[in-house]
Amino acid sequence: MKNIHSIIFKSIGIILFSFIVSSCSDAFLELPPESNLTDGDFYQNDAQIQSATATLYNLVWFDYNDKASYNLGDFRGGSTFDAWSDRDNVEFKTTPDTPDNGVAWRSFYNVVGQANTTMYNIINNSGPEVTERMKEIAIGECRFMRALAYEHLVMNWGAIPIIENNLDLLDNPLSVRRNTITSVWEFITRDYLAAAEALPETSLEPGRLNRWAAEGMLARTYLTRAGVESTGGMRVQDHLDKAKMYAKNVIEMSGASLLPNYGDLFNFPYDNNSESLFSLQWAFASGEWGSNNSVTAYLTPFAELGNGDGWGGAKGATFWILSLYEGFEMIDENTLEGRTLDSRLHATFMMPGAYYPDLPYNNENGDIVKGFRVPDPQADLGNTEFAHIKKYVVGRLGATQATSQHYSHDTYMLRLAEMYLIYAEAEMGNNTSTSDGLAVEYFNIVHSRATGQTLTEELTAQILFEERAKEFAGEARMWYDLVRLHYYNPDLAYQIVSTQDRGLYSIQPDNPLDPTSWTIQKISWDNNRNFSASSGNFQLPLPANEVSSAPNLLEEPEDYQFN
């Protein structure tokens, strides 16, 4: 059975709504002529239905993935930072005009618009050769993608407009109003529930959605909703129970399994492996912009690792995230020192002197060879250095596999490891710790893969929070963990942000050719290390261009009227 990548380009020509190219436009509400909304020559058989939904796996997510993903998910979350650029999100000073604020908003509504329009055409324009089962599956894909887009929208901007049918906006596009946060989460839940019922248990093609991806998202959704609908800081027990149920279903029934070696999750090629429940599907094609993965260009720290790019030299781990790895100890208020058995550090961040035997690079003779050692700055402590980003950095692949900003490796949106940790958190519930046997067992499955050790004492909320931070650092998840916490305990979320050290530091290995430990020291002249979060700046501001185009976005949100 052909891979989903093979039908991506065929689908580009049959997009019936202009949302996928709306990055050229300022307003997510800008609509095409009504005559462009339908095409009677398409949707005539099952293959065309599959082509119609293929674009939902990459094109409509491109602008988000390009730079906004790490700006929001990691920079705001505090797991990574850029020393000189994109400081609005690092410093919690995001404004209505911050570029990736508007880019992300429009990208998510691109997904919504394309999902809505594809569903409309499947329901109204499918030919007699299209089977009912294929219609069900395709609509399930659309509802899953729409739910995922709304999940990102509501967690970043709070109350946002629910657009279920873009045709309704044709007569009065500026009448759109924001809907309440609880309404949006109810809408998300209904979409994921419908997707879980419609999608097959086994993917039709590698990378296609299946039931277990939807149930995994339901586990995440109910865990979050437990806080959204909390009372006095107490999460809703029924939602916690459902989060446990769906997480356990996926763990026990999906057939998915953790990769034995954490680092293999990010060794090229790793697409659609046994641990991936859902990934954005990218295709390498040097002439096709939008179906390619471009984010690698901005993360790769050294030109010799790039493919005509490699612009991530100022991006890296925050001092805060490095302090979480067991084995590193604060020897004074400014200095972190040690080593860790946690394999996630090596797989996520490049420490000076670290060696990556499978990472190809361009050597001094211009040849592509494998075996890259991270350069040692060979400088005294006090000079700026970084623990550069390693995740999603695949190295110099050569022109037949990658060119500048064109990569094919996929972007994780949901991994099995999250199911184990969701179960543990949902079991802990409104307590600050748990000794529940299954919760601890599930936690240890994730923890022991990375460290070779198991937790023998009770599992605490802090241990679990920090485990998630290390497991998903660099995967654009940290910010959403903080948002989920903020729903029921905003003061704790503000406290975590304000105590995260996001300042400059230097790193010195004990041996640059075979390091066994590192000394990480805060840069003395950098006083810009900690940033305050509050009710005034935690949520992203509505993008200026969108408010200008649709002033009703500033009106008080209203409950959504469900059919």
**Same domain assignment for residues 446 and 384:** no
Do residues 477 and 468 make contact, with C-beta atoms less than 8 angstroms apart? yes
Question: Does residue 293 register a pLDDT over 90?
Answer: yes
Q: Give the residue from 375, 407, 439 where a domain finishes.
A: 407
Do residues 431 and 450 make contact, with C-beta atoms less than 8 angstroms apart? no
Do residues 282 and 58 make contact, with C-beta atoms less than 8 angstroms apart? yes
Compare 145 and 27 and report the one with higher pLDDT: 145
Q: Give the residue from 173, 190, 209 where a domain finishes.
A: 209
**Same domain assignment for residues 55 and 170:** yes
231-234-238 Cα angle (round to 5): 95
Cα 336 to Cα 323: distance, rounded to the nearest angstrom: 7
**Predicted pLDDT at 36:** 35
Task: Tell me what the mean pLDDT of segment 75-88 comes to.
Answer: 96
Cα 438 to Cα 419: distance, rounded to the nearest angstrom: 13
Q: How many domains does the chain have?
A: 3
* pLDDT, tens only, 321-360: 999 999 999 999 999 999 999 999 999 999 999 999 999 9
Nearby residues of 313 by Cβ (< 8 Å), 6 or more positions away: 301, 302, 386, 388
Do residues 140 and 197 make contact, with C-beta atoms less than 8 angstroms apart? yes
- Note whether residue 245 is domain-resident: no
Q: What string of DSSP letters covers 150-176?
A: HHHHHHHHSSB---S-GGGGSS-GGG-
* pLDDT, tens only, 8-65: 333 333 333 333 333 333 333 333 333 333 455 789 999 999 999 999 999 999 999 9
If you search the block for the tokens 């058995």, which residue do you land on?
Answer: 341
Question: The tokens of 215 are what?
Answer: 């149930």
**Same domain assignment for residues 379 and 464:** no
- Note whether residue 559 is domain-resident: no
**Predicted pLDDT at 549:** 87
Closest listed residue to residue 529, CA positions, set 13, 32, 81, 40: 81
**Same domain assignment for residues 318 and 453:** no
Q: Give the residue from 186, 209, 232 where a domain finishes.
A: 209
- Note whether residue 463 is domain-resident: yes
Question: The tokens of 389 are what?
Answer: 């980003």
Cα 469 to Cα 31: distance, rounded to the nearest angstrom: 40
**Predicted pLDDT at 454:** 97
**Same domain assignment for residues 334 and 469:** no
How confident is residue 384, by pLDDT bands cut at 50, 70 and 90? Answer: low
Do residues 84 and 75 make contact, with C-beta atoms less than 8 angstroms apart? no
Cα 186 to Cα 166: distance, rounded to the nearest angstrom: 19
**Same domain assignment for residues 134 and 148:** yes
As separate numbers, helices (DSSP H) first and strands (DSSP E) second, the chain gives: 19, 14
Question: Does residue 165 register a pLDDT over 90?
Answer: no
Nearby residues of 373 by Cβ (< 8 Å), 6 or more positions away: 353, 354, 355, 356, 513
**Predicted pLDDT at 168:** 77
**Same domain assignment for residues 394 and 425:** no
How confident is residue 175, by pLDDT bands cut at 50, 70 and 90? Answer: confident
* pLDDT, tens only, 191-237: 999 999 999 999 999 999 999 999 999 999 999 999 999 999 999 99
**Same domain assignment for residues 397 and 466:** no
Q: What global pTM score does this model have?
A: 0.93
- Note whether residue 69 is domain-resident: yes
CA-based radius of gyration for the chain: 23
Cα 458 to Cα 439: distance, rounded to the nearest angstrom: 10
Question: Does residue 370 register a pLDDT over 70?
Answer: yes
**Predicted pLDDT at 386:** 85
- Note whether residue 547 is domain-resident: no
- Note whether residue 309 is domain-resident: yes
Domain enclosing residue 58, as ranges: 4-29+38-209
Asked if residue 515 has a cis previous peptide bond (ω within 30° of 0), the answer is: no
* Sign (positive or negative) of CA dihedral 115, 117, 119, 122: negative
Question: Does residue 457 register a pLDDT over 90?
Answer: no
Question: Does residue 382 register a pLDDT over 80?
Answer: no
**Predicted pLDDT at 424:** 98
- How many other β-carbons are positioned within 10 Å of the β-carbon of residue 379? 13
CA 260 to each of CA 266, 440, 453: distance values in angstroms, whole numbers, following the listed order: 13, 19, 14
Do residues 338 and 319 make contact, with C-beta atoms less than 8 angstroms apart? no
- Note whether residue 337 is domain-resident: yes
Under DSSP, is residue 49 helix (H, G, I), strand (E, B) or coil? helix
Cα 24 to Cα 21: distance, rounded to the nearest angstrom: 6
**Same domain assignment for residues 400 and 421:** no
Question: The tokens of 123 are what?
Answer: 């329901």
- Note whether residue 335 is domain-resident: yes
Task: Tell me what the mean pLDDT of segment 112-132 comes to.
Answer: 96
**Same domain assignment for residues 389 and 419:** no
Give the CATH number, domain containing residue 176: 1.25.40.390
**Same domain assignment for residues 50 and 143:** yes
Task: Tell me what the mean pLDDT of segment 315-320 comes to.
Answer: 98
Range with the poorest average pLDDT among 162-176, 342-356, 411-425, 467-481: 162-176
**Same domain assignment for residues 181 and 328:** no
Question: The tokens of 439 are what?
Answer: 């919760």
Averaged confidence pLDDT in the chain:
91
How confident is residue 385, by pLDDT bands cut at 50, 70 and 90? Answer: confident
